[in-house]
Amino acid sequence: MKSIVCLIATTLASLAFSVQAEEKALNLYSARHYQTDEALYANFTKQTGIRINRIEGKEDELLERIRNEGGNSPADIFLTVDAARLAKAHELGLFAPVSSKTLDARVPANLRTDDWYSFSTRARVIVYNKAEIKPAEVQNYDDLANPRLKGKVCSRSGSHPYNLSLLASIIAHEGEAKAEAWAKGVVTNFARAPKGGDSDQIKAVAAGECGVALSNTYYVARLLRSTKPEDQKAMEKVGVIWPNQATTGTHINVSGGGMLKTAPHKEAAVKFLEYLASDDAQRYFADGNNEWPVVDSVKVVNPALDALGKFKPDNLPVKNLAMYQVKAQMIYDRAGYK
Ligand code: FE
């Protein structure tokens, strides 16, 4: 009896699933959840009639969930942050290649791969304590490894995707030996063992616990735009540098996504990716997290980011960042960059 009930339940479930697959719907697994997202998704439904079912979660958990669901995953699109995580989804064979003239025309070649696309960019900048460090001392990522900064560098974990992608870019530009020497130099300069997120590093710099640290630009922008008096006070003490302006440019990371190989709604999925590259969607996408659009012609007005001034970005293809993730982790491990 029990097995018949099970059978009926399974049949009903698969019926419901196939009905859902034919419906105009899109299942989005997203590690993003910002204020502007409501408008971002509502506009897509308005334009296409395709309803969006959103599953939101932490980046690594969502990836794990898609893996566990395997061939039965209802996920059509996976959106996440950082080239390292997008590269991981690619390595696991989760993404399907997409062929779209719209995406190829709108997303710059260095910001897309065969099966995933970037939709916004962020930069990894140097933040320093203005009372303690002269800006001339911290113009390049290399400076963080300079012995004159001994005991002055704070960092989040070397295993974190942001730091993995930065080291991947150093490997791509300068080779493994130099990347390892850099990682070792930074470890020697640590003010404390790595802990916390980027905002914690900025606050530690402001508090004088360390002289210098790295942060993604949106954390800087968030604190600059904060109305809390303690954040405003902290930011008065902190200077921000665009690193490597005379050489390779400031390291750029991305948020982005792709269509899953097992997507039940492939046509809707491609439409959605194309929508994310449209002018309006680009604005919402970037604004939600104080980032920049990937489409060149789209401009956003963000007073905090604008206040940091113009800079030369590193145009290294995101594909190359993806390629060196494993090597980057091995180098950090050898360097004791925990
Ligand atoms: Fe972040």
pLDDT tens-digit profile of 141-173? 999 999 999 999 999 999 999 999 999 999 999
> Could you tell me the pTM of the whole model?
0.91
- pLDDT score at 22: 53
Residue 137: name the closest of 210, 241, 246 by CA: 241
Look up residue 313 and give its two tokens: 């970005």
Q: Are 120 and 255 in contact (CB under 8 A)?
A: yes
Q: What is the pLDDT of residues 21-64, one digit of tens each?
A: 456 999 999 998 888 999 999 999 999 999 999 999 999 999 99
Ligand 1 center to 4 CA (angstroms)? 48
Rounded to the nearest integer, the mean pLDDT of the chain is: 93
Ligand 1 center to 93 CA (angstroms)? 24
- Residue 41 marked ligand-binding: no
Opening angle at CA 93, ends 88 and 97, nearest 5: 105
Q: Which CATH architecture has domain 122-251+312-335?
A: 3-Layer(aba) Sandwich (3.40)
Q: pLDDT at residue 10 above 90?
A: no
What CATH number labels 25-120+254-304? 3.40.190.10
Ligand 1 center to 57 CA (angstroms)? 14
175 vs 266: CA distance, rounded Å:
39
Residue 130 confidence class, pLDDT cut points 50, 70, 90: very high
Ligand 1 center to 8 CA (angstroms)? 45
- pLDDT score at 2: 47
Ligand 1 center to 17 CA (angstroms)? 34
Q: Do domains 25-120+254-304 and 122-251+312-335 have the same CATH topology?
A: yes
Residue 338 confidence class, pLDDT cut points 50, 70, 90: very high
For residue 239, the one-letter residue type is G
Ligand 1 center to 218 CA (angstroms)? 8
- Residue 173 marked ligand-binding: no
Residue 258: name the closest of 162, 193, 322 by CA: 322
- pLDDT score at 90: 95
- pLDDT score at 21: 46
Q: Picking from 3-7, 85-89, 120-124, 202-206, which range would have the lowest pLDDT averaged per residue?
A: 3-7
37-48 and 266-276 are packed helices; what angle lies between their axes, rounded to 10 degrees?
Answer: 120
279-287 and 266-276 are packed helices; what angle lies between their axes, rounded to 10 degrees?
Answer: 70
Ligand 1 center to 197 CA (angstroms)? 8
Mean of pLDDT values over 192-198: 98
Ligand 1 center to 161 CA (angstroms)? 9
Ligand 1 center to 328 CA (angstroms)? 19
Q: Are 26 and 77 in contact (CB under 8 A)?
A: yes
- Residue 90 marked ligand-binding: no
Q: Are 212 and 102 in contact (CB under 8 A)?
A: no
Q: Where are the domains of the chain?
A: 25-120+254-304, 122-251+312-335
Look up residue 155 and give its two tokens: 């960092």
Q: Are 271 and 103 in contact (CB under 8 A)?
A: no
In percent, the amount of the chain with pLDDT more than 90 equals: 91
Please tell me the total number of residues recorded for the chain in this structure.
338
264 vs 69: CA distance, rounded Å:
13
Q: Are 83 and 269 in contact (CB under 8 A)?
A: no
Q: How does DSSP classify residue 65? A: H
Cβ partners under 8 Å of residue 291, min gap 6: 120, 121, 122, 217, 218, 255, 285
Mean of pLDDT values over 194-219: 98
Q: Are 329 and 94 in contact (CB under 8 A)?
A: no
End-to-end CA distance of the chain: 55
Element (H, E) at 215: strand 212-216
